[in-house]
Structure 1
Amino acid sequence: MDCGICLKPGQFDVVSRPRPTEAPEGWVLVDIAAIGICGTDYHIFEGKHPYLDYPRVIGHELSGHVASGPDSGRLVVVNPYLSCGTCRACRRGKPNCCASIAVLGVHRDGGMCARIVVPVGNLYPADGLSVRQAAMVEFLAIGAHAVARSGVGKGDLALVTGAGPIGLGTALFARLAGAEVHLMDLSDERLALARRLCGFDRLHRPGDDILAGDLAEGFDAVFDATGSARAIEAGFPLLAHGGTTVLVSVVKGDIGFSDAEFHKREARIVGSRNALRSDFDRVIAAIREGLIPTDALVSDVVPLADLPARFPALVHDRNDIVKILVTP
């Protein structure tokens, strides 16, 4: 079968590998239907991912049909986070931050291929969704989890910094939670997409003097989806007293803040990693109910055979796209 493999930084190709025909006990064969390209995949191509060994079959935003067992033929979403089930986090119901987590397409080969083998517990029924919608559940679940971690609700003021796919997903679920949502980004193109595709109209650029009028006291929640330490630090002064900063993105460096200002606000800094089954379920239900504009979020659908030629341009033009889906 054909597999999309990043052989080394800057080199992506389609390589033939044997097609799996058997699954060990507790695992199941899944025929992949669609794969979303994530910022992680772009970072792998660029050689910027800190936890990856090459070559690697990429792809962790996956939908497919069960190919073995009693649910054969059923459309499912694949949860790509393989947890150990025994560490303290797993025992406390937090497999998303398992101490020994292995993410498909990062720590082990992913799903940009015709068929994979995954634990049966990592498959969630996607009845009522299309294969394209099901492939978008994972990235939207990242945002849904961040919103759940924040505790924002009706009447709260929320600022999402970074209007890429993860930021948009976070903004969509903050809006569904009842918050007044504002978006901030360096890119006018991304802000324009957020307005046109998702109807967000409270848009800001970094450096704008936004703490005025109804926003004079700051935001109840600031979500960072930029991956920039500088942007995270710039967000702390925008936080209202009693507010919460949610770190959705990950940065390699250190983050600094004023301890006096932090205590004066009785602020919280919350990390948000991956997603839980409840977040996947929330996203699936929202899509099924027509609350997420999934069609608008799909920028293009690319056959796997065409991806090697197109990958460099996709990496370069990320400001103009939201979600690229690949068909094996």
Structure 2
Amino acid sequence: MDTKTDMMESIVCVEPGQMALEQRPRPVKAPEGWVLVDIAAIGICGTDYHIFEGKHPFLDYPRVIGHELSGHIESGPDAGKLVVINPYLSCGACRACRRGKPNCCSAVSVLGVHRDGGMCARIAVPAENVYPADGLTPQQAAMVEFLAIGAHAVARSGTGEGDVVLVTGAGPIGIGTALFARLAGAEVHLMDLSPTRLDLARDLFGFEKRYQPDEDILAGALSEGFDVVFDATGNARAIEAGFPLLAHGGSAVLVSVVKDDITFADSEFHKREARIIGSRNALKSDFERVMAAMRAGDIPTDALQSEVIAMADLPGRFADLVGARDHLVKVLVRP
């Protein structure tokens, strides 16, 4: 490759603590069944922060980050169409895939984690992983993926009208979960170690019922516990602390993932006839549910968007963003 247009700028986490703007080859031809997408906007995720901090268990460096992606189809009959990219590339052959659960494919490959992601100008992805984003802006479309994780968790839980739910962890995934639990008709409570995050949840999204972990909340109207406890903390001790907060007949939904073992008192769990539900990634139906809610004005996308940064400025800003993440909901990057 010897022309400027054969190369593109990409954001690469070279090693923990080092983010760089590098020139990488620009894809010019997609494999059969794949499409080229010119990236329009990228969301920065907690996963990206963990990669920068060296805390991600499934990643080899260097890695082009970025899996919250929107863009325009590069060529063909749909050229120029705005799409959302589903970053979970499934094998299509394992038992989970055969049963319509590609989100938990046994060989799933996630953009920006297991393979290079979309923090770049153009990417090739399977055609089945792009969904039309008609009626959305590129920035809104780049926020669909992280919201789909919460939408999937709420759908998995069966949360509905009249349920009293607690979301532990008021970061972006927790906020997304809380928004879709509220849309499902539930009374939503939030818990987080950070008073800053809790204040953001109140000021931007109207979540008034907020607690910190050291508060004794099982009293009065909450004395019987919560119908559903969603964990979005990524902390094993927080997950364990959520089990005693379940009402009889309740469900604990693990939206986050931890490497640690998790324990609970079986007698307490059994007498409640409680359920533990794992919730991993999202399905096409969850992406579509999120986009429909955005089009209907049910998701406050302006409040979710904390800042838009030019890609060229990101390496110099990334460490500061990591340190300020309690004050941010979603930072977007512009190629």
The alignment status of 1:156 with 2:163, answered yes or no, reads: yes
After TM superposition, what 4+ stretches of structure 1 lie above 3 angstroms from structure 2? none
Partner of residue 104 from structure 1, selected from 108, 111, 132: 111
> What SS does the aligned partner of 1:307 have?
helix
The 5 A counterparts of 1:281-296 are: 281-296=288-303
**Given the alignment, which residue of 1, 8, 12 partners 2:15?**
8
**Correspondences of 1:97-246 after superposition (within 5 Å):** 97-246=104-253
For the aligned residue pairs, the C-alpha RMSD in angstroms reads 0.5
> 2:5 corresponds to which residue?
none
Contact 1:83 1:96 in 2 (8 A): yes
- Alignment partner of 1:17: what SS? strand
SS of the aligned residue for 2:25 comes to: coil
Q: Per-residue displacement from partner, 1:277-309 (whole Å, max 9, x unpaired)?
A: 010000000000000001111111000000011
Please give the secondary structure, in 2, of the residue aligned with 1:324.
strand
Output the CA distance in 1 between the equivalents of 2:76 and 2:58.
33
Q: Deviations over 1:297-325 (max 9, x none)?
A: 11110000000110001011110111000
Secondary structure at the counterpart of residue 25 of structure 1? coil
Conservation of the 8 A alpha-carbon contact between 1:32 and 1:116: yes
Distance 1:128 1:184 in 2: 34
Does the CA-based 8 Å contact 1:299-1:321 persist in structure 2?
yes
Alpha carbons 1:77, 1:137 under 8 Å: kept: yes
- Equivalent position amino acid for 1:319 in 2: D
Structure 2: runs of 5 or more not aligned: 1-7
Amino acid at match of 1:188: P
Percent identical among aligned pairs is: 76
Q: Secondary structure at the match of 1:13?
A: strand
What is the alpha-carbon distance in structure 2 between the residues aligned to residue 278 and residue 285 of structure 1?
10
C-alpha contact 1:158 1:179 (8 A) present in aligned 2: yes
| Cα distance in structure 1, aligned partners of 2:44 and 2:177 | 18
Q: TM-score, normalised by structure 1?
A: 0.99
- In the alignment, structure 1 residue 321 sits paired with structure 2 residue 328: yes
> Does residue 86 in structure 1 map to residue 93 in structure 2?
yes
SS of aligned partner of 1:144: helix
SS at match of 2:177: helix
- Unpaired runs of 5+ in structure 1? none
TM-score, normalization: structure 2? 0.97
1:271 partner letter? G
Q: 1:310 aligns with which of 304, 311, 317?
A: 317
Whether the 8 Å CA contact 1:28–1:69 is kept in 2: the answer is no
CA contact (8 A) 1:56 1:106 kept: yes
Q: Which of 263, 267, 279 is 1:260 aligned to?
A: 267
Select which of 59, 84, 96 maps to 2:66: 59
The more displaced of 168-177 and 203-212 is 203-212
State the shift of 1:19 in Å: 1.1
- Cα separation, 2, equivalents of 1:80 and 1:70: 23
In structure 1, the residue matched to 2:256 is 249
C-alpha displacement of 1:69: 2.0
Q: CA deviation at 1:270?
A: 0.4
Q: What amino acid is aligned across from residue 52 of structure 1 in structure 2?
A: L
Q: Which of 50, 58, 78 is the equivalent residue of 2:57?
A: 50
| CA apart distance, 1:80 | 0.2
Aligned pairs for 1:24-39 (under 5 A) are 24-39=31-46
One-letter amino acid matched to 1:2: E
